[in-house]
Amino acid sequence: MSRNILFINLGWEQEPLLQLLGGWGCQIFGYHYNSEYSRIVPYRDICIGDLRDLEKIMNFAKSNKIDAVISDACDYSYFAQAYVSESLLCKASSLSQAQVAVNKLRQRQVASAKGVRVPKFSAVYTPSDAIEIADSIGYPIVIKPVDNRGSFGVFKVANSKELQSLFYLSLAQSHSRLVLVEECIQGQEFTVDGYCINGEPTSLAVAIKSHSSDNQCVADRIVYSSRLSEYTRLKEYNSFVARALGFNFGMLHAEYIIDKRGDIYLIEMANRGGGVYTSTVIVPEFSGVNLKEIYLNDCLGISSDLSNLDIDKVCVVPKAKKVVLHFFSFSPGKVKSISIPNELLTDPKVLKLKILISAGQVVPPILSDAHRHGFVIVSLEESESEDQFIEFLYRSIQVEYE
């Protein structure tokens, strides 16, 4: 097919989609925030610029007579995709849907109005405002930027002294200069992923989440399993939430907390694929649904052949395998070398393995998603222990320090 495709954000997380699209005979025009973009496919042209510079992205799209716009796993590029697509009449989420998806305050307001349970919340401008709201809600509380991504500026706060100092860090990461102060729901965190199949939100995978010891707002392991006790209830609730928020196109990636009473609280829902290959590797491996092809077809306005897709089976029948996303946490120090045995990279259980620190780098504390040291995605039988397999990986990967 000879079409002009604009692909916004060309990082390693987008490579599975880029690689598939590259085999479709399209002319790919890329937009990336720096010159270190993926070279996995040839591009007709590349534009370098801020992912939030909507005017620049629009001008690049218009000058190249773009027929479709693609993005994945990034709020900034997702919003730009909606902005450009709506103007050029391309297939994508609408600008109205994008405003709900990327603005945490707006999403809280819409969800609450539609009967979705959310933490008590308020948006504030100053530390004194934050302290006043926190006093009324009760500590601990969570503060976060209204409109950022990747856990930047997200903190669990125990008291007013912590709030006074951490507020500025959160505010610095908020493009709107608004900080969301909200109730800290105590309970177990889950993620639910899905897709709007033929416009209908459909939940495909549920995972249980654990967190980093450095920052309780950053996940360190996510385990997808149909044997989770809340599997069916979370799938059904996730589809209800997506409809309540007005989503009818593309990927869905949501986070929930179930408290000790069994109540489900929406923490956040993205109308895009989750990061770290969630939508392009993890969910297809777990569900058997080829989201990459369906998503590209939808963006290009092509009907997918879903005649063999049994939604009831995908959504209900327990699976014999689980998929684990584990984020590595290495010891502090300056790295001299890193060695990964080839047998790990070729192990069929290891779907993806990537180390995000390198020789000469000082290993950082994990204060946000961007500070993670690396990750592995493994596909295991339900009977296998993910703890034992991850321990094996740690023993096998050799990190030498100066």
Structural domains in the chain, CATH included, are 4-92 (3.40.50.20), 120-183 (3.30.1490.20), 187-319 (3.30.470.20), 325-401 (no CATH)
Structural tokens at position 230: 């809340």
Quote the DSSP letter at residue 363. P
Residue type, 166: L
Contact partners, residue 150, CB within 8 Å, separation at least 6: 275, 368, 369, 370
State the Cα–Cα distance between residues 190 and 209, nearest whole angstrom.
5
pLDDT score of 305: 83
Residue linked to tokens 């993926």:
38
Residue type, 88: L
State the Cα–Cα distance between residues 52 and 69, nearest whole angstrom.
15
Shortest CA distance to 163 belongs to which of 213, 123, 129, 211?
Answer: 129
State the Cα–Cα distance between residues 226 and 207, nearest whole angstrom.
8
Contact 72, 80 (CB under 8 A): no
Residue type, 195: Y
Element (H, E) at 6: strand 4-8
Structural tokens at position 276: 């770290």
pLDDT score of 214: 61
Quote the DSSP letter at residue 122. E
Which residue intervals of 35-185 are DSSP H helices?
54-63, 75-88, 95-102, 104-113, 127-137, 160-172
Residue type, 92: A
pLDDT score of 309: 75
State the Cα–Cα distance between residues 20 and 293, nearest whole angstrom.
8
State the Cα–Cα distance between residues 216 and 314, nearest whole angstrom.
32
Contact 212, 169 (CB under 8 A): no
Cβ burial 19-41 (10 Å sphere, 16+ → b, else e): ebbbebebbbbbbbbeeebbeeb
State the Cα–Cα distance between residues 36 and 363, nearest whole angstrom.
22
pLDDT score of 312: 67
pLDDT score of 306: 82
pLDDT score of 216: 62
Could you tell me how many residues make up the chain? 402
3-state secondary structure of 10: coil
Contact 298, 91 (CB under 8 A): yes
Structural tokens at position 227: 């044997």
State the Cα–Cα distance between residues 4 and 179, nearest whole angstrom.
39
Count other Cβ atoms within 10 Å, centred on residue 316.
Answer: 12
Contact 295, 395 (CB under 8 A): no
Structural tokens at position 266: 């929406």
pLDDT score of 364: 87
Contact 211, 231 (CB under 8 A): no
State the Cα–Cα distance between residues 344 and 349, nearest whole angstrom.
9
From first to last of its 402 residues, the chain has per-residue pLDDT tens of 579 999 999 999 999 999 999 999 999 999 999 999 999 999 999 999 999 999 999 999 999 999 999 999 999 999 999 999 999 999 999 999 999 999 999 999 999 999 999 999 999 999 999 999 999 999 999 999 999 887 889 999 999 999 999 999 999 999 999 999 999 999 999 999 999 999 999 999 999 999 766 656 678 899 999 999 999 999 999 999 999 999 999 999 999 999 999 999 999 999 999 999 999 999 999 998 999 999 999 999 999 888 777 776 666 655 778 999 999 999 999 999 999 999 999 999 999 999 999 999 999 888 777 788 999 999 999 999 999 999 999 999 999 999
Instruction: Report cis status (omega within 30 of 0) of the bond before 284.
Output: no
pLDDT score of 149: 85
Shortest CA distance to 68 belongs to which of 48, 46, 85?
Answer: 85
Count other Cβ atoms within 10 Å, centred on residue 347.
Answer: 16
Contact 224, 286 (CB under 8 A): yes
State the Cα–Cα distance between residues 33 and 80, nearest whole angstrom.
13
Q: Kindly report the CA angle at 13 between 188 and 94, in degrees rounded to 5?
A: 80
